[in-house]
Amino acid sequence: MIERARGLSRAAPILLIVALAITWLIPDAGWLRAATTESEGAERMTSELDALVDEPLVLIGFDADVGTYAEIRPTVRALLADLLARDGRLAFVSLTAEGRALASAEIARLGRGEANPTRLLDLGFIPGAEAGLVDLTRDIRVDGGDDGVFAREVEGAGIAAVDAILVVGGNDLGPRSWVEQVIPRIDDVPLLTVTPTVLLPEVQPYLAGGQLAAGLITPRDGVAYRQVLELGNLERLVEPTEPRQLPILVGMLIAVAVLGQALASRTLARVRLAGSRSVG
Amino acid sequence: MSGFFGTGMADTVGIWIAAIVTLIVLGALLGERRLFGWSQHLLAGLATGFLALIALIEVIGPRLLQPLVVDPTGRPELWAGVALVAAAAGAPWLPRQLSAIPASVAIGALAAFALSGAVIGTLLPQIDASIVRAGGSVATMVAGASAAVVTVLVLIGFLHGRPRGRVVSSVAGAGRWLLIGGLGGWLGFLIVSRLILLVDRIGFLAGDWLGLGR
């Protein structure tokens, strides 16, 4: 009995992966959707983007985390494509090495997708964590010999040229750091964010208090936002297929089952102990 | 599809390497620990190398050496920075009073920025936002009052080692249960994130590598 239980617990992770792989291969069921088009987060984001000036200059603080980027990646790519579709100009900056690696990969991806290179600016990595963020509000340096119009404008006017800030969070220097270090030092610039669900407890108070103008935080927000996008020929910049919902649902059900099994066995052990005490 | 790879030969090689390393990591679930250990070393080595590369190419070169070479007297603060770096590098051979200066400056500056930012950017605005004001909607008032009550209960839950009566003990107990509930909710969010990552890796193996489901 004990051997069987041991064997089962050893095989459980592989069984989980096999189950997820099988459900990943099953074509998406029409009845299973992560969201309807109604999401307050998505609506706020869309209305904030609609309110931006023509050809907005958006500073993108790209500090995602490799461990959670898979969750927000489709939404980040859709948002970048949306900003480009609105004739936005995107300046990427990172304050963590991990974020820098992911930002480089996304900029390279936009290049492969033939996004207009005059609308993209790579500001690279800024050292110094919080101090680096404060430095960013005083002076933006453009390295790498970029002498295009966009680069000159950013270098000349600094943060004053920015119409909106988008923080792609997940790492240590996420939306909270931008709210604390940047927002108090600049004039009325909307701060937008895309973060993984795990940061919801941290970001929600800033959204409720108005310090963050809009945020796409849960997968539901992301799906609702992506559903209403009209990108025209920039569709090529978004992910060709939506993330599969069925394996995520199956994985969550398995997680709940494991949790229930642990609770049930604990309760059973307590009942048995109480029973043996009363008999004794 | 992760979308990180193109169609060139280098991308194909990258996909194969990524797939093999992913399988090695998943193989640890079957008990294959040696290859998993190597993959961890590979990750640590690559991360360190990448960090060093960024430090050299994006920080030390363009932000320190280049300005000093172009105009040695124009940026005196950079010389102070060089002196601090030299003091940190020579710490094993220097007197403690001297070698402690760079670490003190780094920790002091970090604490100053973090603390002042937390007070100005988070604490004060959040207190202001959670104050229950007359004239607001009922939902806003209830949310604000609930936030204040929960905050107070959890703070009292952190009281340790002081004599207290039955009421304070009950309140502290309630605060601790709320804290545990909050941590449980947060762990639930973490499971969602990690589950999506696992499904994404399976998607990478099946889609990007094996070409299934495209």
Could you tell me the residue ranges of all domains in chain A?
Answer: 40-237, 245-280
pLDDT digits (tens, 9 = 90+) for A50-88: 999 999 999 999 999 998 999 999 999 999 999 999 999
Closest residue, chain A, to B205 (C-alpha): A21
Lowest pLDDT segment from A14-23, B137-146, B172-181: B137-146
Contact A130 B190 (CB under 8 A): no
Q: Give the confidence band of B161 by pLDDT, cuts at 50, 70, 90.
A: low
A125/B54 touch (CB, cutoff 8 Å), yes or no: yes
Q: Compute the nearest-CA separation of B168 from chain A (Å).
A: 27
Domain ranges of chain B: 131-205
- B81-112 pLDDT, tens digit per residue, is 889 888 988 888 988 888 889 889 989 988 89
Whether A179 sits inside 8 A of B190 (CB atoms) is: no
Contact of B113 with chain A, judged by CB distance below 8 Å, is answered with yes
pLDDT on residue B96:
87
| Prediction ipTM score | 0.85
B 40-59: CB under 8 A from A: 47, 50-51, 54-55, 58-59
Contact A127, B84 (CB under 8 A): no
- Does CATH number 3.40.30 belong to domain A40-237? no
Q: Work out the minimum CA distance from A6 to partner chain B, whole angstroms.
A: 13
CB contact under 8 A, B195 and A25: no
Show Cβ contacts of residue A38 under 8 Å, excluding neighbours closer than 6 positions. A224
DSSP A163-211: SEEEEE-SSSSSHHHHHHHTGGGSSS--EEEE--GGGHHHHHHHHHHTS
Question: Phi/psi at A164 (nearest 5 deg)?
Answer: -160, 155
Tell whether B161 lies on the interface with A, counting CB pairs under 8 A.
no
Tell me which chain A residues have a C-beta less than 8 angstroms from the C-beta of B121: 176, 179-181, 183-184, 211
In whole angstroms, give the CA distance from residue B137 to residue A153.
44
Q: Is B187 on the interface with A (CB under 8 A)?
A: no
**Is A196:A65 a contact under the CB 8 Å cutoff?**
yes
Whether residues A130 and B186 touch (CB distance < 8 A) is answered with no
**B71 touching A, CB under 8 A?**
no
Q: Write b or e for each residue in A76-88: b if 16 or more Cβ atoms lie within 10 A of its Cβ, otherwise e.
A: bbbbbbbbbbbeb
The answer to whether the CB atoms of A131 and B110 lie below 8 A apart is yes
Question: What is the pLDDT confidence band of residue B47, given thresholds at 50, 70 and 90?
Answer: very high
Q: What is the pTM of this model?
A: 0.88
How far away is chain B from the Cα of A267, in angstroms, using its nearest Cα? Answer: 19
